[in-house]
Amino acid sequence: MTTKSKRPAEVDAPDESITEPGTVDEDRPESAPAIPEAATPDDGPEAAKTKPVDEPMPTDTIDADSDPATPADSVPAETAAPSGMSTDPGAAAEPPPAAEPVTEVTEPLTEAEPDLPVEPPAAVGELATALSRLRAAIGGATYPLVMPSAEEAGRIGTALVSQLDDYLLPRLARLDAPLLVVVGGSTGAGKSTLVNSLVRAPVSTAGVLRPTTRSPVLVCHPSDSPWFRQGQLLPSLTRTAEGSSDPRALQLVSAPALGPGLAFLDAPDIDSVVEGNRALAAQLLAAADLWLFVTTAARYADAVPWELLTTARLRGTVIALVLDRVPPEAAGEVSTHLGEMLAARDMGAAPLFVLPESALDGQGLLPEGAMRPLRDWFAQLAADAEARAAVVKQTLDGALAALGPAVAGLAEAADEQAKAAKALDERVTAAYRTGRRTIEAGLQDGRLLRGEVLARWQEFIGTGEFLRTLESRVGQLRDKVVAAVTGRPAPGRNLQAALETQLVTLLRGVAADAAEQAYSAWQAHPAGAALLDPALQKASADLPQRAERVVRDWQRFVLDLVRSEAGDKRTLARGTAYAVNGVGLTVMVAVFTSTAFIPTGAEVAVGAGTTIAAQKVLEALFGDQAIRTLAARAREELLARVDVLLEAEAARYTDRTAAVRLELEPGAALRQAAADVERAREEVALTGTPS
């Protein structure tokens, strides 16, 4: 920012612009937002001349000089008071607050107008584009899973979006728009009274009831009101002309007593029982070029406002503090303590005005004397376009710089969401995979399925009861032999008898187990526990019907399979079947002999012999191998159908995380957009320190 603008004619020469030692080394704009860079001692007096914008950024406590009770305390304040706020009542009173600065300001403004395009518009445009993209990315990110970071991220995301809409984008579009001072603070701190006293008119209702102000009031010079009325800034608030209690309305009041280029916004409180007020106040504060934080002697150590102050500091908003309602005897101690607290929180550079507890005049305004330092400070600011621009740019730059870390937090939260969703899905998958394995093991020996295939085959071929018996006897014998040889126990029952029932029971049992397992796995995960509902603990209600359907469909498939496989062999097979009855009879006798008369030990040998014979016969007849192949295919098919069934069951869980899984790396988009904004911000270099 190269300015060689003429200094506006000042009442007081700024020659004694004193810099605070503690603020000297702060040269990074985002970390020392309230301290413009000119404060570095190297610049020395030259800086004081060339960068007069710094003066309205005082660095120390300013006491109400009109307060006779605190002469000792006001001494350091006076020495440190910047030129703009002369402690000399005469000097300060000399310029009529409204008239003279106005005329003077108009001149620098006309000079400043051509100054603005000096900044590369392309870079600003690029920044605006990057911001729009970032806004889309933030608006698009969701945090549906309950995680430690999610609620916070959702809140920050909403806040960032509204900050972008309410402030950053409109402000970037018009850097020369009037400076908006948001007066915020606790309920009962006297914000409305302060605003009224600043503009010397009862524009905002003050009262004893808490909270008093429900709907924000914006006070500006008549010449500025078109800008505020057109609603680029804070677009979500409806503009009204008269007061209302609707929190979504913004009352616009013109006050000629106020200089142009400066507007005050009386915000609702941040800590009363009215929930909406806090959100609205936070939104308004995010739109502030300068935050005038009002607190009182009773309140200045409250936790809630300090949280907001910390947020504002991190965001780089320029802050000024008013300590209101100070009992005369407490002024020294309280202001010192507040100063310590500010310093401890890295806000020691913010100007502090102390207003004594005083009776209001007939109009409900604070006495002129007490208000003077504050009024003078603002008059100075109003008079100096450069100073205003510096404040605007500093806050804007700070807010832009603060986007990076905030968005990084969001990106992390988004990544965590994706990670948690993945972990949850894995738990569900594991549970249902166990179920599938159980079913696979249940079908392991294939007898069940071969029985089904064989039965269908025989039904299809149309062989008689005799051959069927023969086949089943042979089958049993073979299993016995296999059992004797391999040592596996022989089956006790004929599984085929109730195939449907058995399969359905198996499926139901497995689905119930898996649902329960998945349920307890999710319950152990904070995000999972929030997604659960009791119905998930059991398998879905229509599972028995669907399992039955799966089994029936599979049986039809087996039938079709047999049909297509047998096809033309049918007649041949039937003929052969009858023709071979004699052989069958022989086998039958062999079987009978082996089971009825031969002792167990010998059974094996004969059985094996018979089995081989029987198998040969069967192979000759139907091709036992073909049946085995068919059985294997039937098994595969059954497992595939079971998979579909179990997947549908698992989907009851995984559907709940589906919203998160759409993007694999949701954080990446946010990080990219934030990095673009940061790059563009550095190029634009609002505060004149390209890094």
Partner 1 sequence: MSLVERVKNALARDDRVDPEQLVARLDALGRFLRVTDPYLPDNDLVAAHTLVERAGSRLALSQDHTVVALAGSTGSGKSSLFNALARLKLSPVGVRRPTTGVAHACVWGPLGPANKLLDWVGVLPRQRYIRESALDGDDEAALRGLVLLDLPDFDSVERGHRLEVDRLLGLVDQVVWVVDPQKYGDRILHNAYLRQFKQHSDITIVVLNQADRLSPGDTEIVLTDLRRLLTEDGLTDVPAMATSAKQPGMLTELRAALEKTVAERQSALRRLAGDLDLVAEQLGATIGPPAAEDEVDRATVRQLSEALAASAGVPAVASATAGAYRHRAIASTGWPLVRGVRKLRPDPLKRLHLSTEKPAPSTDLVPVSRTSLPEADAAQKSAVGLSVRAVAARAAAPIPEVWAPALNAAARSRLGDLPDALDRAVARTDLGMSRKPLWWTAVGLLQWLLTIAAVVGLGWLIAGYAVRIIGLPAFDDPMVGEVPLPTLLLLGGLLLGALLALLLHPIVNLGAKRAGRRAEQRLRVSVTEVAREYVVAPVREVLNSYAQAREALTVVRSE
Chain positions contacting partner 1, by CB under 8 A: 186-189, 208-211, 271-275, 278, 296-304, 306, 325, 327, 329-330, 333-334, 337, 341, 438-439, 441-442, 489-493, 495, 502-503, 505-510, 512-513, 534, 537-538, 597, 599-600
C-alpha–C-alpha distance, residues 210 and 649, integer Å: 55
Question: Least Å distance between CB 240 and partner 1?
Answer: 24
Strand partners, 238: 249
The answer, yes or no, to whether the previous bond of 36 is cis (omega within 30 of 0) is: no
Nearer to partner 1, 512 or 668 (CB): 512
* Coil, strand or helix at 641: helix
Question: Least Å distance between CB 415 and partner 1?
Answer: 30
Nearer to partner 1, 483 or 579 (CB): 483
Q: Quickly list DSSP for 502-559.
A: HHHHHHHHHHHHHHHHHHHHHHTSHHHHHH--GGGGSPPTTHHHHHHHHHHHHHHHHH
Question: Least Å distance between CB 219 and partner 1?
Answer: 24
Nearer to partner 1, 87 or 610 (CB): 610
Question: Least Å distance between CB 624 and partner 1?
Answer: 24
Nearest Cα to Cα of residue 267 among 255, 279, 253, 259: 279
Strand partners, 614: none
Question: Which pair of tokens denotes residue 380?
Answer: 């100075």
Q: Are 137 and 687 in contact (CB under 8 A)?
A: no
Q: Are 191 and 295 in contact (CB under 8 A)?
A: no
Question: Least Å distance between CB 490 and partner 1?
Answer: 8
Strands 61-62 and 352-356: parallel
Nearer to partner 1, 304 or 658 (CB): 304
Question: Which pair of tokens denotes residue 489?
Answer: 């126990």
Question: Least Å distance between CB 449 and partner 1?
Answer: 13
Question: Least Å distance between CB 366 and partner 1?
Answer: 16
Question: Least Å distance between CB 302 and partner 1?
Answer: 5
Nearer to partner 1, 187 or 687 (CB): 187
Nearer to partner 1, 134 or 504 (CB): 504
Backbone phi and psi for residue 273, each to the nearest 5 degrees, phi listed first: -65, -20
C-alpha–C-alpha distance, residues 184 and 164, integer Å: 20
Strand partners, 413: none
Nearer to partner 1, 249 or 439 (CB): 439
C-alpha–C-alpha distance, residues 374 and 354, integer Å: 9
* Coil, strand or helix at 249: strand
Nearer to partner 1, 341 or 408 (CB): 341
Backbone phi and psi for residue 207, each to the nearest 5 degrees, phi listed first: -175, 180
Strands 179-185 and 217-220: unpaired
DSSP-assigned letter for residue 168:
I
Question: Least Å distance between CB 372 and partner 1?
Answer: 24
Question: Which pair of tokens denotes residue 586?
Answer: 């022989």
Nearer to partner 1, 101 or 188 (CB): 188
Nearest Cα to Cα of residue 174 among 221, 92, 112, 264: 112
Burial zone of 542 (CB within 10 Å; 0-12 exposed, 13-18 middle, 19+ buried): exposed
Count of CB atoms within 10 A of residue 185's CB?
Answer: 29
Question: Which pair of tokens denotes residue 609?
Answer: 């012999």
Question: Least Å distance between CB 269 and partner 1?
Answer: 8
- Name the strand (E) or helix (H) holding 593: helix 581-596
Question: Least Å distance between CB 516 and partner 1?
Answer: 8
Question: Least Å distance between CB 640 and partner 1?
Answer: 18
Give how far the C-alpha of residue 438 lies from the chain's centroid of Cα atoms, to the nearest Å.
Answer: 40
- Name the strand (E) or helix (H) holding 61: strand 61-62
* Coil, strand or helix at 322: strand
CA angle (332, 338, 340) in 5-degree steps:
100
Nearer to partner 1, 241 or 301 (CB): 301
Nearer to partner 1, 200 or 337 (CB): 337
Question: Least Å distance between CB 42 and partner 1?
Answer: 37
* Coil, strand or helix at 292: strand
Nearer to partner 1, 176 or 513 (CB): 513
Q: Are 199 and 186 in contact (CB under 8 A)?
A: no
Question: Least Å distance between CB 539 and partner 1?
Answer: 10
Nearer to partner 1, 401 or 551 (CB): 551
- Name the strand (E) or helix (H) holding 293: strand 290-296
Nearer to partner 1, 208 or 664 (CB): 208
Strands 290-296 and 179-185: parallel
